[in-house]
Structure 1
């Protein structure tokens, strides 16, 4: 939750800097700051995965049927995004699918979408994916009660290997830690491929 608020705070700060012209816009656009920030972010993700070989070892102990959990999360999210495009008639199907393909990974997906589709859709992606994370953090106990122990894992999307892992562990149980990390890893890995796919269509 704290991390989400910090991200939103920086977004608000950037918006204010843009509104009051505190930073020349030419510096930001011409220097491709967002591209270099994205490269640094991808490097950090790779570093964190490569630095924890135990995570990869734990994946081998998973029930093979649970491999389908991240696949169903991806398919369910894309189906929901497609349904939303029927309501938001001013947005194309591919725009909605691109936003949905963030799966809660707001920092990465919003940068990609801003690069491909512009700041407006990038901002929508940022807010939509932050909302997914916050809703998972707040609603995890209810999701377990109503839909079972796997529900908050699926709802968390790409965040289940980091920010939402503690609440999932507390509500679903310690035995779902490896499942949650595996789910987050697979969904997380799919984000750059799916977002760029839908942005380029």
Structure 2
């Protein structure tokens, strides 16, 4: 929860800096977002490659649970496609690009800003932050109404890091590896899906 509030705080700070021209350069006209994206991609690769225990834990998973991240990805994309029917000023590809962020707000919003501009990038940032906050706040209700796997699916790519503690508390310790695996797969899908839908 604290991490989400920090992200929202930085977003508000960035908005104010842009609105009042407090930065000595135009961010959209510089290569800062590209270098930030490269740094994020390096950090993601480093964090995955630095934990050899993760791969060992994946081998112990029930093979049927492989379908959980697949169901999350397909369900998110289907919901984004349906939402596009309510937004005539946005194409289905744009809505699915936003949905493809899977809660990974930092990476997906930079990709979408690079491809589609800052307006859709901001929508992606807010959409993915809201997804994480809804999982953090709604995990107990999701478990009660839909079962132990519901907050994992709701969390998307965040289930291997920021939402993992609340998922562990609400779903149980036995779902930790499932949650990490789910976050790993959905996290890995983000750059491919976002760039695919942005290029349509």
TM-score, normalised to structure 2's length? 0.98
Tell me the CA shift for residue 18 of structure 1: 1.2
Contact 1:18 1:25 in 2 (8 A): no
Give the 5 Å matches for 1:51-90: 51-90=50-89
Tell me the CA shift for residue 139 of structure 1: 0.7
Which whole-Å CA distance do the structure 2 matches of 1:8 and 1:146 have between them? 28
Give the 5 Å matches for 1:94-173: 94-173=93-172
Per-residue CA distance 1:139-172 (angstroms, 9 max, x = gap)? 1111111111111000000000000000000111
Instruction: State yes or no: 1:7 paired with 2:7.
Output: yes
> Any stretches of 5+ residues in structure 1 without a counterpart?
none
Which whole-Å CA distance do the structure 1 matches of 2:151 and 2:74 have between them? 16
- Secondary structure at the aligned position of 1:87 is classed as coil
Tell me the CA shift for residue 92 of structure 1: 0.5
Tell me the CA shift for residue 25 of structure 1: 3.9
TM-score, normalised to structure 1's length? 0.97
> Any stretches of 5+ residues in structure 2 without a counterpart?
none
Which whole-Å CA distance do the structure 2 matches of 1:24 and 1:93 have between them? 36
Give runs of ≥4 in structure 1 deviating > 4 Å: none
